[in-house]
Structure 1
Amino acid sequence: MPSAQPVEYAVAVERYLAAAELGSASRRIYRIALDTWAWALADRPAPGGPDRRRARPPVLPLALLDHPDAAARLRTAADHRASTTDPRTFNRELSTLRAALTWWRAQGWITADPAAGLRPQPLPDAAGRAPLDPDRLRDLFARRAPLREQTLWHLLHESGAAVETVLALDVDDLDLVHRRTLPSAPPLHWRAGTARLLPLLVAGRTAGPLFLTDRRAPAATPAADRCPHTGHARLSYRRAAELFTAHQPGLTLRQLRT
């Protein structure tokens, strides 16, 4: 049953953070990220440096997220933020906003998703490593790895997409017949290897994250990151990287991109 709608954005932020059952350090980081987006919605530049953490964000009505120009305001802010901060920070802040929006919509407090058009920034390979050569790829794809890992590795290689983009995909983003994502999702295409594996991976599922963890999601996991069929959570980048390194020590997932 939806709870009473808070009037202010800041109150909605606090309720979301309380429901997420985060540790104190994570709660502080999430609050800073959500406050940053508040400045964007108010059409005001967020303070920079140490002042960003101390500044009180503008008071906003939560209903502003349903305003027709909310998406445009966030897009402008995202473009500016992406040009002034590193990709990992930007992607973390965007992920935080999306998780909060999903939870607020689940409560019935808002109906729109003004962040729907925002995409994560590609992350550079810090080690500057070259893509895997054909022999290494053949060896990798010939290994007896679980279906989830093989599908992820093939999709990363054949689509050339960033790891974060692929892990953010949902089952209903896929056009399996035409080997591509639907127009509402980031534009990805794949080839025969992925096309052979994807139907096996999504068998019996019609919604929820494409790549899932092995265990059921914690209670605080946002609905968008939980499979409605199995209750398992979306696979994280950290875990995907660990699984890849276990099969290919010294290599990184980003080396699968063509």
Structure 2
Amino acid sequence: MKFKALLLALSLVSISTFAQEKVKYTKEQIKKMEQFLFNEGFPGPSTKKISTIILKNGTVNKGFCNDIETKKGQIYEISTKDSATKKQMVFNAENVSEMYIYPTKLAKILKVGRYMSNVKSLSTKKLNKYTTGEHIQFVNQTVSLKNKKDDKEFLMQLINPEFNDVISVYHDARAKETGGMTVGFGMQVSGGVTKSYYVKKGDKVIWLHKDDFEDNYDFLFGDNAEFMKKYPKKSVEWDYFSFLVNEYTEMTNG
């Protein structure tokens, strides 16, 4: 037991040492790390495509989503017209386990406009993330809003469905963005980075703000020594977050 405890202590010290070492990245590596891999948050549902709502009791409902009622950015009620019976249905968000909806065309147009007006987006974000017609996934999660409120269940948009095996990242509907400088014809040359997300690892869900990124770095990635050596906290930035989550997932899964 003492030997195992010693090995664990040495492992933790080793990880801590890796975390303190700085790594200098090439321009190509930085450009890759700045790639925005999360899905964008879309504000409204399409009324012309069939949405799927799965209740906690396992019932699956398919219909055209007419409206989503929100309060302070959080969903509390969903209205649909059943695709088979045409009956109007209303679902309380607290009874929903998962929901799959499609974005409106207007929402996609607005997102593309925002994309095209940001120089940084043109080089670091993929346009298909803005124009995709794929569904948006919402999952029922118990969270403390901004880590200040009592724990409560909310339907939250999963924005890394392609790589959420270990860490799930959810859209913060009330998140702000970093400021930037605008030149020419309204072209933004800096800023525009989302400042906060809700993040789940294991059974723990936290509201992660860019100012708290370094404090939570060990919680997010500290159990992977190889990752911590390659991407120590003192060498990375908040702008790399989506890349880091994806890279950590790939390195953890082997």
Please state which band the TM-score falls in when normalised by the shorter chain.
under 0.3
- Identify the structure with bigger relative contact order (alpha carbons < 8 Å, sequence gap 6+): 2
- Report the TM-score when normalising by structure 1: 0.25
Larger CA Rg, structure 1 vs 2: 2
Structure (1 or 2) with the greater strand fraction: 2
